[in-house]
Structure 1
């Protein structure tokens, strides 16, 4: 259940684009055609699916306070948390370089259409954000870290795929001149973000039932005594006010 909840929350509720607005540069620049959007989205899914679990291992066994205890007691007090950004970015850059080599080898047309934005995945804030969110939310297991990486990538993929499909259709629409291009794209993105936020009520669960006083006989007796005391005080107050008026 925890895996399923994290999966759907990362895609719809905590979407990288619509909830935190990360990765907007690639989202806006490579979303003019569906084909290029699909290629970049698949690359982002792969990079997140690989880098988030690797960075989870680095965080658990190298970066956290006391994470080096497995090397010996003399290293248990070491805290290498200040190296988080350096190691996370190094891992991301390595995987992006691997993706760039594979795409150039097997799909030169996609490689040319993505242009500079494929190597720029290495500095895409959505990719680094996935690892930093994993660290800040203290995801407990490697399986959940892998789940979070894949689902976050799918959420970013759905966002860029949806806006690319809309932008392809909107070319033939009569958009007012001041809003053409990025103007209407930002408006559509805001509307889509509102739509994705509506999924927030799906995983919040129902209200927990709070035990009432009437459900417990002992509490019922206490409640009755309280009501009697309140009625007595009210009667005394009314009596005093009546005498005062007379």
Structure 2
């Protein structure tokens, strides 16, 4: 039951984008269409989950050797290397998927939620199962946030006459603020810490 609560909390009450306000650059930039949002969300979920799974045993090794101060550097290297490997793998073996991701795949390297998830499991002392569930749930939560934002933006541009000063990123920030307020309502459900 604890893992289910952790999974739901990482999507809703502790949504990495809407509660912790992480990953805003790519959230704002890529949420111009639902297709882009879904592609980016899937890529972020895959990379976040796999890099956390790779980083957990590395952190345990660093902990055993007393060199945990290196964890930030090691996490960044693992994330960059994995994204590069994934990009090369998709380009060679799944060119259609590679073309569909386009520029979104390299953008994940600089998405702060990928690093934040690894730092969260470290500071919260999660075991392997908790790390997997939390990282996957955080990726799903970020994908939920970007798809919701893209859907609202698309609908608003179709049916509303948005004032010129609020078009583009300004309206995206307003929408994110309203979504964040809505997600704060989930905080009574449970806590991750």
Gaps of 5+ in 1: 69-78, 205-246
Counterparts of 1:181 and 1:47, CA distance in 2: 28
Unaligned runs of 5+ in 2: none
Contact 1:59 1:135 in 2 (8 A): yes
Kindly tell me the number of residue pairs found equivalent between the two proteins: 187
- 1:111 is aligned to 2:111: no
Summarize the Cα distance change of 1:108–1:125 in structure 2 as closer, same or farther, 3 Å threshold.
Answer: closer
Alignment of 1:195 onto 2:182: yes
| 1:12-31 mapped onto 2 (5 Å cutoff) | 12-31=12-31
Q: What whole-Å deviation, never above 9, does each CA across 1:137-170 have from its counterpart, x for those lacking one?
A: 111x211111111001000010001111111111
SS in 1 for 2:113: helix
Runs of 4+ aligned residues of structure 1 deviating over 4 Å after TM superposition are: none
Write the deviation string for residues 84-124 of structure 1: whole angstroms up to 9, x where unpaired: 11110111112212332344423254233xx2x42121121
- Between structure 1 and structure 2, the one with the greater Rg is 1
Q: Tell me the equivalent position of 2:165.
A: 178
> 1:10 and 1:146 mapped to 2: Cα distance?
11
Q: TM-score, normalised by structure 1?
A: 0.72
Structure 2 matches for 1:31-50, cutoff 5 A? 31-50=31-50
**RMSD between aligned alpha carbons?**
1.5
Give the number of the structure with larger relative contact order, counting CA–CA contacts within 8 Å between residues 6 or more apart. 2
Q: CA–CA distance in 1 between the matches of 2:32 and 2:162?
A: 16
Give, in whole Å, the separation in 2 of the partners of 1:27 and 1:88: 22
Aligned match of 1:158: 144
Deviates more, 1:151-160 or 1:194-203: 194-203
Task: State TM-score, norm by structure 2.
Answer: 0.91
